[in-house]
Structure 1
């Protein structure tokens, strides 16, 4: 028997579970509510795991909780293991003709896509006993969540593509600058983005797509800021109130535009286009059943 076999046999696997919960909670203190253990017991378990592996997994201090490089690697290994354990009850009760389980999808907020809607409906028709768990998240976090196996499928813009992940183009999302009916520019049309450089803008912060940010910087848009919100719904709310201009996905703003509550200030051919992708992490031999669900969902997009 090799030393690797000895390690797997002798390791207290509960330590991996506790470490996974620490990572999910974002720190030792926050993990107490998730696993109902005292902070001292959680800290001791973390120390035991670090001692068994022989490396520091995280740093704690005034700057907060942060995983080391080794901690990040272990967290990425633990996530699919915990997912596999959670599937045991449904696997045990599953008949040969029925597929149970869940498929988690993380996507950018307020994304409008007929192709995605059809795929979800078709998948549910084919697999009525599979639970779809859908969550919205910042576009910058989607690929990382897929990488860590926190979600099965991601839907988000992605200018930089990781070689470990698979990207399937879904659609282009056109972003146009809008103003509300109470704004003095409502009803105006501009052919040059530079004409809007002196206007105040509502920005979406870190969730702004790279292509849109590059477009703004090219024309000096958003140097004057009236509001910032990470949530598209709130950015839209501010635009409707007339406190500034706001870049919004055309598909998301179309209903307000039709009802003359929002007005697009630039023509479509001048607006930046953002590619949106379906992202997944293929080839998990230990999770073959989940692989099948993921592949079946992606097939529904065809």
Structure 2
């Protein structure tokens, strides 16, 4: 397939390009500068500008655009950027597909488990309702923008959690652990939806050729608490895990991001992926962390 990717140079995008190229797909990158060859197309997502004719030349579109949630704290201005960078970019892609003479057959658009809000004690699947909070509102608007794609295009929104790999939030966790500052966050009993980077990109590649549409959870099949994730990192890096940070202190330091990212509990199950036959390489978060720490970049 010829696949157009927005966000190809990011944490997940870089790994996805490698995966799809290895599988024989042809990649076209969306870039925020002048295109320098047939494997690039220019756009300005903030301004809603894109050469919509590129949509006539590709079979599928993968949207990974969005400002990082791991950048802290979330100031008022940055919360606006979190929203705009997702909604505007997604709407720009959907509008371009609608203008194309031959729209792509597949549109895979990133989303997030933040859709479910804070739901302690509840098992969450794609059939669960939306929660409340800032991220739930962001994701609702984000997915609504993806739904503007033409009806003949199979549209799937993949709701991702904490991606275990060299980048994103795990980069910060790794730095704190390496410095001996890994800590229990609040009670530590809140569930963190996680997925190994290998499985994240494998699932996206799988969705390109699957018939699934609508929301799909991209999380590991075995739930894990924040305490389990942080303790596993510290244990494998041979660092202490004895500190504890009360919820109140996290709130004072990080504001809304503490409640939405670190203290929120979401026991998410990738029900539709499992039912469709996708097989995970890393079934437990410990396996995902082992793979991350044993990767070539870690050794280097």
Q: TM-score, normalised by structure 1?
A: 0.25
Q: Which is richer in helix?
A: 1
